Chain A
Amino acid sequence: MRRLSWLRAAVAAGAAVLLTAGCLSSGGNSGSGGNKNTGKTIEIMMAFTGPQATNFEKSVDPYAKSQGITIKWSPTSDFNSLINTRVRGNQLPDIALFPQPGIMRDIVKTGKLTDLSTILDINSLKSSFVAGEIDAGTANGKVYAIPVSMNVKSIVFYPKQAFSAAGYSAPQSIPDLLALTDKIRSSGKTPWCLGIESGAATGWPATDWIEELVLKYGGIDQYNDWVNHKIPFDSPLVNQAANTFSQIAFTPGNVAGGRQSIAGNNFNTAANPMFVNPPGCFMYKQGNFVAQAGGFPANVISNIDNTVGVFPFPPAKAGGENPVEGGGDLAGLFSGNNDAAKSIMKYMTGQGFGAEAAKGGTFLAPRKDFPLDNYPNQITKDIAKIAYTSTVIAFDGSDQMPGAVGSGTFWREMTSWISGQTSQANALKAIDTSWPKS
């Protein structure tokens, strides 16, 4: 009897396997997107929350209201996981603002995003956007997403009064920057603040450093080749960048708290020692977004033009080509047959969009024709000018790489390397190995 029941179970299991085996999913369709919603209520998902989200909503809602459109905003700090889950389950928003083009390109493969060339005039957008921004939303030669906001990462913050009182000046080249670092250290002070902790996303600020240095040493073309893995991580170019980074970050005395503190130090607050007297450090490289609530201390932000200065991260050679690294949120359209969603897309990519958000101090517009007067303070105007006058903006490299690398091994291996669990050579090799094969 016992044996018989085993036999029965085996037969049942075998039958079940036969019934379900071979049920692999089929590839996606392509064309006008995966969301069939045609109503006047649309959902927009984005990766930023808090004041940044409310300011952004304020820029869109009045227009939507005038068109009779209701927008359901879905801000989430766990955007990548959530959008992937929703794409998998076909619970699509109408519009998603992707912080990482890499994730967007992964989703393009499922055929659920809309080709925007049928809806927007791509050529006119190309001429009015900061150079390079439209390329970030391009996959297989078609534009699937347009930046609606921008951030600039090629900048170094410094404590304004103390920096000039000590007689330092903005470096003109990377050797200058290294010399300034040595000069500050040898005078018994600490040159850099550095922190790469960011919860489950720990490591991304370190990848920004490597990207910055690859961009400066290799120029935009080699940078793009590297982003597309035509130049591997374990190459002379990336090693040169990693060497410079390790010289800055690992030399004893260069970083407040030392090498071991970097991986546990949150990027938002890492620069806070800069604003005590005497400053705990003199330089902090980070995107413009740390200069707002949640980043720099409140008393610094309320008096930002007098307390904080900013210089562009210098080029490899003084006066050489100086592309700027940045990022942004790219709007992609899931419901390509929804007129309400289409008109919101047109509005968000149109001239002058974002004035209300800019006044809130949490927003940079990706269009060159955006009036600088909308920005609330001098430092934001300076940062915007760095971007608008640059020859080209290189979109954040790790954000463009496939998710497995750009928000996986690149973050992870940099964190391991900095905290001493692996060597530079092994870290770079491990990232190369993890690059998806297809």
Chain B
Amino acid sequence: MVINLLNTLIAIVVGVAGAFVLYWLLNKLVELLPTKWEERLKPYAFILPAFAVIALYLIYPAIQTIVYSFANAQSTAWVGFSNYTDLLGSPEFRQTLLNTLLWIVIVPAVSIILGLVVATLADRLRPRAEKITKTIIFLPMAISAVGAGTIWRFIYAANPKDQPQIGLQNAIVTKFGADPVNWLQLSSFHVNSLLLMVIMLWGQVGFAMVLLSAAIKSVPVDTLEAARIDGATEREIFFRVIVPQIWPTVITVFITVTIGVMKIFDIVYVMTNGNFNTNVVGVQFYNELFTNNNAGYAAAIVVMLMIAIIPIMWYQVRHFRQEEAAR
């Protein structure tokens, strides 16, 4: 334990000092050059190490993944597009894509709506009550997804009929004389996927609430007063004065949650491992790589995910630039 701590400490010190020395040396080297060249090269001296690290740890693996997605399970021979056609041709994988799509459509939208509702209502409470409400709603955010899964297992747990029910929902259901329900096996209308989304929402609403609440509080009071004087109703004030002013925050929250949802893995892995038609892309990727030892399929799945994320990234960058320009 002590040794581990010391190692961590040394790593941090050496790392920070090393980076400092590197930049200092580069700077000195550039300063040795004639003034004209010094001015030309100095920006690169500072940006190149960072760029090299990104290239090595991000761009190179990304390209290697794309390359492997056209190779066989052991990455030893080319197979053309067959990884993609195999995957897209299998009904299970299409269901996996559909489930992921449901997550993407439902979770970000619902977390924003709920976050907005909580933020708006809490804003009207007395300061003390507001703090307590927000703390409670924010609390699940601090719990890891695996921990959340364990907690929710106790809510969805189902024991066979006539045995004591340790699951909260089944304890309630059986109190009213009904048979216990295997919540996570209710695959019609993707009810079980929705139940898994509840876990994600439980964690994400607090995040949305905090950011949106801050945005609502920074809406200038004079705009609200002006609207009231002009005879606007509370609803009109909310939708036509507050929402437009916090819209940039809404977009930011939306994009952050969407990207988080596209990578969703832990909740599904812990709760069902993708059984009962709750599979999502992240879990399927993991199972292809680590259970099925199929690096080709795994890489192809990741590439599809990358392609799907590109439009969102593009939108975010554009949105960010507009924000900058408006400032």
* Interface pair B182/A419, CB less than 8 Å apart: yes
Instruction: Check: A20 CB closer than 8 A to any chain B CB.
Output: yes
Select which of B60, B274, B275, B277 is within 8 A of A263 by beta carbon. Answer: B275
Interface 9-residue window, one of A77-85, A161-169, A211-219, A349-357: A77-85
Q: Roughly how many angstroms separate A261 CA and B160 CA in the complex, as a whole number?
A: 5
Instruction: Check: B74 CB closer than 8 A to any chain A CB.
Output: yes
**A130 CB to closest chain B CB, in angstroms?**
29
* Interface pair B287/A408, CB less than 8 Å apart: yes
Instruction: Check: A232 CB closer than 8 A to any chain B CB.
Output: no
Interface residues of A in 382-438 (CB under 8 A from B): 402-404, 407-408, 412, 415-416, 419-421, 430, 433, 436, 438
Instruction: Check: B187 CB closer than 8 A to any chain A CB.
Output: yes
Enumerate chain A residues within 8 angstroms of B269, measured Cβ to Cβ.
200
Take A21-B67, A261-B160, A261-B182 as given contacts and tell me if A81 and B290 are in contact as well, using a CB distance cutoff of 8 Å: yes
Instruction: Check: B71 CB closer than 8 A to any chain A CB.
Output: yes
Interface residues of B in 269-325 (CB under 8 A from A): 269-270, 272-277, 287, 290-294
**A120 CB to closest chain B CB, in angstroms?**
28
Select which of B63, B78, B273 is within 8 A of A200 by beta carbon. Answer: B273
Q: Roughly how many angstroms separate A24 CA and B59 CA in the complex, as a whole number?
A: 17
Q: Which residue of B lies closest to A434 (CB)?
A: B292
* Interface pair B187/A258, CB less than 8 Å apart: no
Instruction: Check: B185 CB closer than 8 A to any chain A CB.
Output: yes
Instruction: Check: A332 CB closer than 8 A to any chain B CB.
Output: no
Instruction: Check: B76 CB closer than 8 A to any chain A CB.
Output: yes
* Interface pair B161/A257, CB less than 8 Å apart: yes
**A263 CB to closest chain B CB, in angstroms?**
6
B interface majority secondary structure = loop
Enumerate chain B residues within 8 angstroms of A257, measured Cβ to Cβ.
159-163
Enumerate chain B residues within 8 angstroms of A24, measured Cβ to Cβ.
67-68, 71, 75-78
What are 24 contact pairs spanning A and B, CB under 8 A?
Answer: A16-B55, A20-B64, A20-B67, A106-B293, A200-B270, A200-B273, A202-B273, A256-B161, A257-B160, A257-B161, A257-B162, A260-B185, A261-B159, A261-B180, A263-B276, A264-B185, A273-B163, A404-B293, A419-B185, A420-B185, A421-B277, A433-B90, A436-B292, A436-B294
Instruction: Check: B264 CB closer than 8 A to any chain A CB.
Output: no
Q: Which residue of B lies closest to A25 (CB)?
A: B75
Instruction: Check: B200 CB closer than 8 A to any chain A CB.
Output: no
Instruction: Check: A109 CB closer than 8 A to any chain B CB.
Output: yes
Most chain A Cβ neighbours within 10 Å, of B72, B77, B78, B290: B290
Instruction: Check: B158 CB closer than 8 A to any chain A CB.
Output: yes
Q: Which residue of B lies closest to A200 (CB)?
A: B273
The 8 A CB mask of A10-39 against B (1 = contact, 0 = none) is 000000110011111111000000000000
Task: State which size class the interface on A falls in.
Answer: 35 or more
Instruction: Check: A343 CB closer than 8 A to any chain B CB.
Output: no
Instruction: Check: A280 CB closer than 8 A to any chain B CB.
Output: yes
Enumerate chain A residues within 8 angstroms of B182, measured Cβ to Cβ.
260-261, 263-264, 419
Instruction: Check: A236 CB closer than 8 A to any chain B CB.
Output: no
Instruction: Check: A265 CB closer than 8 A to any chain B CB.
Output: yes
**Other contacts beyond A16-B59, A263-B275: 20, CB < 8 A:** A16-B55, A22-B67, A25-B76, A26-B76, A84-B293, A200-B273, A256-B160, A256-B162, A256-B163, A257-B162, A257-B163, A261-B161, A263-B276, A264-B158, A273-B160, A403-B291, A404-B292, A421-B187, A421-B276, A433-B90
The 8 A CB mask of B36-57 against A (1 = contact, 0 = none) is 0000000000000000000100
Enumerate chain B residues within 8 angstroms of A81, measured Cβ to Cβ.
290-291
Instruction: Check: B201 CB closer than 8 A to any chain A CB.
Output: no
Q: Which residue of A lies closest to B184 (CB)?
A: A264
The 8 A CB mask of B135-165 against A (1 = contact, 0 = none) is 0000000000000000000000111111100
Q: Which residue of B lies closest to A436 (CB)?
A: B73
Enumerate chain A interface residues (CB-CB to B < 8 A): 16-17, 20-27, 80-81, 84-85, 106, 109, 199-200, 202-203, 256-258, 260-261, 263-265, 273, 280, 402-404, 407-408, 412, 415-416, 419-421, 430, 433, 436, 438
Q: Roughly how many angstroms separate A338 CA and B73 CA in the complex, as a whole number?
A: 31
Task: State which size class the interface on B falls in.
Answer: 35 or more
Instruction: Check: B92 CB closer than 8 A to any chain A CB.
Output: yes
Take A408-B291, A436-B73 as given contacts and tell me if A17 and B163 are in contact as well, using a CB distance cutoff of 8 Å: no
Interface residues of B in 160-213 (CB under 8 A from A): 160-163, 180, 182, 184-185, 187
Select which of B67, B74, B184, B294 is within 8 A of A23 by beta carbon. Answer: B67
Enumerate chain B residues within 8 angstroms of A408, measured Cβ to Cβ.
287, 291-292
**B149 CB to closest chain A CB, in angstroms?**
11
Q: Which residue of B lies closest to A270 (CB)?
A: B160
* Interface pair A258/B160, CB less than 8 Å apart: yes
Q: Roughly how many angstroms separate A421 CA and B276 CA in the complex, as a whole number?
A: 7
Enumerate chain A residues within 8 angstroms of B90, measured Cβ to Cβ.
433
* Interface pair B163/A404, CB less than 8 Å apart: no
Q: Roughly how many angstroms separate A415 CA and B75 CA in the complex, as a whole number?
A: 31
Enumerate chain B residues within 8 angstroms of A264, measured Cβ to Cβ.
157-158, 182, 184-185
Select which of B59, B72, B273 is within 8 A of A199 by beta carbon. Answer: B273
The 8 A CB mask of B110-128 against A (1 = contact, 0 = none) is 0000000000000000000
By Cβ-Cβ distance, the 3 closest A-B pairs, closest first, are A257-B160, A404-B292, A261-B160
Q: Roughly how many angstroms separate A109 CA and B73 CA in the complex, as a whole number?
A: 12
Enumerate chain B residues within 8 angstroms of A261, measured Cβ to Cβ.
158-161, 180, 182
Enumerate chain B residues within 8 angstroms of A412, measured Cβ to Cβ.
274-275
Q: Roughly how many angstroms separate A202 CA and B184 CA in the complex, as a whole number?
A: 13
* Interface pair B291/A17, CB less than 8 Å apart: no
Q: Roughly how many angstroms separate A81 CA and B265 CA in the complex, as a whole number?
A: 15
Enumerate chain B residues within 8 angstroms of A407, measured Cβ to Cβ.
291
Select which of A80, A258, A402, A420 is within 8 A of B161 by beta carbon. Answer: A258
* Interface pair A416/B73, CB less than 8 Å apart: no
Most chain A Cβ neighbours within 10 Å, of B63, B71, B76, B160: B160
* Interface pair A419/B276, CB less than 8 Å apart: yes
**B102 CB to closest chain A CB, in angstroms?**
16
Enumerate chain B residues within 8 angstroms of A16, measured Cβ to Cβ.
55, 59-60, 63
Q: Roughly how many angstroms separate A273 CA and B164 CA in the complex, as a whole number?
A: 10
Select which of B92, B185, B274, B294 is within 8 A of A430 by beta carbon. Answer: B92
Q: Roughly how many angstroms separate A195 CA and B156 CA in the complex, as a whole number?
A: 17
Enumerate chain B residues within 8 angstroms of A26, measured Cβ to Cβ.
76
Most chain B Cβ neighbours within 10 Å, of A260, A280, A430: A260
* Interface pair B161/A20, CB less than 8 Å apart: no
Enumerate chain A residues within 8 angstroms of B291, measured Cβ to Cβ.
80-81, 403-404, 407-408
Enumerate chain B residues within 8 angstroms of A258, measured Cβ to Cβ.
160-161
Q: Roughly how many angstroms separate A294 CA and B291 CA in the complex, as a whole number?
A: 26
Q: Which residue of B lies closest to A411 (CB)?
A: B275
* Interface pair A203/B293, CB less than 8 Å apart: no
Q: Roughly how many angstroms separate A199 CA and B291 CA in the complex, as a whole number?
A: 14
Enumerate chain A residues within 8 angstroms of B163, measured Cβ to Cβ.
256-257, 273, 280
* Interface pair A20/B290, CB less than 8 Å apart: no
